Structure 1
């Protein structure tokens, strides 16, 4: 399995890519090409072009959850596909994977929409759409983890904002937050979006679904910007027991959290342009 960071809050030093508060990771597992999240704007297309990655050949597009910094880049991606069709260029019709709540309207701090502004019906015009709360294997080794069971009290944080459902408006617990896990010879590689459901809960679900307790790496957002001390301590205690071989925290993980995590694990630099291979 190989992955490349297309969108993150920072770029690797010495690389002339664009960055923004968002996340997108390109993955190759065997012959299957997967795009995990799309960032906030259209820079994933610009960065992919500079890296020689053809987004028109992506087979599967996975959304970690419905927030704007992970889904609004879909506009640029769909424009890319539309232009390819109009100009007669080769493309793969992608399949979109997400939790059913990922396309519901969300509001936060007076902003009327902080969720995905594309509907499921609109996505259906551009490819297949598969919504599921259950884990789903995308390849023999790569799995969509589905709705995460929230297992740890120290990761429970008050909900922020509101989500608009067919049954009415409710507090937004970001139930759609999910992740990917890949089985490799070194152990599991876990790829997260924002970890609203709790980074430790995500790891536990990955270990359970994949039947492997070894964690080779975790890359993505850990949702630890200004984390409360009790939450941070619980996570540090958990990782001290799990002992992941490496961590690549990025996006919504603050500097203080990265420094704290480095006390219990091998924290490595992450940014746009990072390329990793496993197995």
Structure 2
């Protein structure tokens, strides 16, 4: 088994400056004959990039939405309009909570999905809500949810809320999911934003599978992390001897520079248009 991950859109421009970029994330994954899409960016411009990169989105087997923020689900309706609905959709059980960000005292800005459950039903999209901790798409590909808290230094940003019955409640991101692919060297994990903490996510996966982590790709939400959290996160990566750290999106410049400094060649900035290929034996 081998696989290829193409970053269709991300915050930063591609190396040749010919693709669209935006505050968002969308990843196209080919695993043997299977084709998956994780997240759809903010605007849907990932579709234009896919065309330029000669990525065919008409043959998707699965679409996964890592969590219900606009910069990861904003392009979903354009995807449906573009390809119809031949794919199966996998989401966290609480994806359709109304999500908000507190921008100033008592001022909440909507940051959730631009579609709801009715839209999914109206378009006859087969959907799986992740209720279980671990779901196998096949023997080599798994989806993980319900992440556990495994340390004392990762906390969910207090600016994020859900609205329920007219009240704003802190969002603990019960909708967050991640993908893991088995390789001969361990699991290759793909995340969206890691709101619950990248180390919490990885340690939960290690505990549940009994497998080591070989590589990680996606956003780590270290943009708001202080020096202590960044240092402890880097130490975790070292302790677990993770070989590939392909971060971007919400990782932040400060954390990016520290990871690059401390982990050298293991770190890769995963900007728009980047392609990672893993040959598994």
TM-score of the superposed pair, with normalisation by structure 2: 0.90
Q: CA deviation at 1:145?
A: 0.7
Q: Does the CA contact (< 8 Å) of 1:37 and 1:64 recur in 2?
A: yes
Aligned to 2:49: 47
Aligned to 2:8: 6
Q: Does the CA contact (< 8 Å) of 1:96 and 1:128 recur in 2?
A: yes
Structure 1 unaligned residues grouped into runs of 5+: 83-91
Aligned to 1:270: 270
In the comparison of the two structures, how many residue pairs are matched? 269
Q: What do residues 207-239 of structure 1 show as CA deviations (whole Å, max 9, x unaligned)?
A: 2333311x2211100101141122112212211
Q: What do residues 180-213 of structure 1 show as CA deviations (whole Å, max 9, x unaligned)?
A: 1111123211111000011011111222333311
Alignment partner of 1:138: what SS?
Answer: strand
TM-score of the superposed pair, with normalisation by structure 1: 0.90
Which of 174, 196, 216 does residue 214 from structure 2 map onto?
216
Aligned to 1:107: 100
Alignment partner of 1:182: what SS?
Answer: strand
In the alignment, the residues of structure 2 paired with residue 53 and residue 125 of structure 1 have an alpha-carbon distance, to the nearest angstrom, of 27
In the alignment, the residues of structure 2 paired with residue 147 and residue 233 of structure 1 have an alpha-carbon distance, to the nearest angstrom, of 25
In the alignment, the residues of structure 1 paired with residue 59 and residue 194 of structure 2 have an alpha-carbon distance, to the nearest angstrom, of 28
Q: What do residues 253-272 of structure 1 show as CA deviations (whole Å, max 9, x unaligned)?
A: 11210121120351113111
Aligned positions of 1:74-93 closer than 5 A: 74-82=76-84, 93=86
Aligned to 1:190: 189
Normalized per residue, the structure richer in strand is 2
Aligned positions of 1:11-26 closer than 5 A: 11-26=13-28
Q: Mean alpha-carbon deviation: is it higher for 71-80 or for 231-240?
A: 231-240
Q: CA deviation at 1:166?
A: 6.4
Aligned to 2:116: 119
Q: Does the CA contact (< 8 Å) of 1:102 and 1:176 recur in 2?
A: yes
Aligned to 1:177: 176
Aligned positions of 1:47-66 closer than 5 A: 47-66=49-68
Aligned to 1:140: 139
In the alignment, the residues of structure 2 paired with residue 42 and residue 193 of structure 1 have an alpha-carbon distance, to the nearest angstrom, of 16
Shift of the 155–192 alpha-carbon distance from structure 1 to 2, 3 Å rule, reads: same
Q: Does the CA contact (< 8 Å) of 1:216 and 1:244 recur in 2?
A: yes
Q: CA deviation at 1:178?
A: 2.2
Q: In the alignment, is residue 34 of structure 1 matched against residue 36 of structure 2?
A: yes
Q: Does the CA contact (< 8 Å) of 1:32 and 1:139 recur in 2?
A: no
Aligned to 1:94: 87
Q: CA deviation at 1:11?
A: 2.9
Q: In the alignment, is residue 248 of structure 1 matched against residue 250 of structure 2?
A: no
Q: Mean alpha-carbon deviation: is it higher for 175-184 or for 62-71?
A: 175-184
In the alignment, the residues of structure 2 paired with residue 255 and residue 107 of structure 1 have an alpha-carbon distance, to the nearest angstrom, of 25
Q: What do residues 64-107 of structure 1 show as CA deviations (whole Å, max 9, x unaligned)?
A: 1000100011121122135xxxxxxxxx6111111121111112
Q: Does the CA contact (< 8 Å) of 2:144 and 2:178 recur in 1?
A: yes
Q: What do residues 140-174 of structure 1 show as CA deviations (whole Å, max 9, x unaligned)?
A: 21111112112111002452232124696421122
Query: RMSD over aligned Cα, in angstroms?
Result: 1.8
In the alignment, the residues of structure 1 paired with residue 268 and residue 75 of structure 2 have an alpha-carbon distance, to the nearest angstrom, of 26
In the alignment, the residues of structure 2 paired with residue 40 and residue 111 of structure 1 have an alpha-carbon distance, to the nearest angstrom, of 19
In the alignment, the residues of structure 1 paired with residue 233 and residue 130 of structure 2 have an alpha-carbon distance, to the nearest angstrom, of 28
Q: Does the CA contact (< 8 Å) of 2:157 and 2:195 recur in 1?
A: no
